[in-house]
């Protein structure tokens, strides 16, 4: 299942589930049902959840300290900046953190 590890991943990066729901364009209760396996999300919703979570994880990985991820508006701005290449100078941190 595509969403089987979402709960562990959002806990690891300290991302509130409501913020992820906002980024994915859904109600927090719907995301909760999907994460807990009580409902099956439509394919498009599952893809939005996975894509947004992957991008937030990348942003967290690029930041030297864990950013405050509790504000969805600010997080959207950071994600837009990351997509536009504003954080490209920090891409080398991936190799350093992976021991390469």
Dump pLDDT digits (tens) for 18-46.
999 999 999 999 999 999 989 999 999 99
Separation CA 100–CA 45 (nearest Å):
36
Residue 100: band (very low, low, confident or very high) from pLDDT cuts 50, 70, 90: very low
Separation CA 8–CA 32 (nearest Å):
13
Q: Please identify which residue in the block is written with the tokens 């807990």.
A: 36
Q: What is the mean pLDDT of the chain?
A: 88
**Per-residue model confidence (pLDDT) at position 93:** 67
pTM: 0.84
Separation CA 45–CA 51 (nearest Å):
10
- The beta-strand segments (E) located in the chain are none
């Amino acid at each position: 299942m595509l969403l089987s590890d979402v709960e562990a991943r959002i806990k690891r990066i300290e991302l509130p589930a409501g913020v992820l729901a906002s980024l994915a364009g859904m109600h927090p209760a719907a995301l909760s049902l999907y994460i807990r396996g009580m409902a099956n999300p439509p394919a498009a919703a599952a893809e939005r959840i996975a894509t947004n979570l992957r991008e937030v994880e990348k942003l967290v990985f690029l930041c030297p300290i864990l950013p405050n991820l509790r504000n969805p508006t600010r997080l959207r701005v950071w994600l837009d900046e990351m997509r536009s290449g504003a954080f490209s100078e920090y891409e080398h941190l991936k190799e350093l953190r992976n021991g390469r």
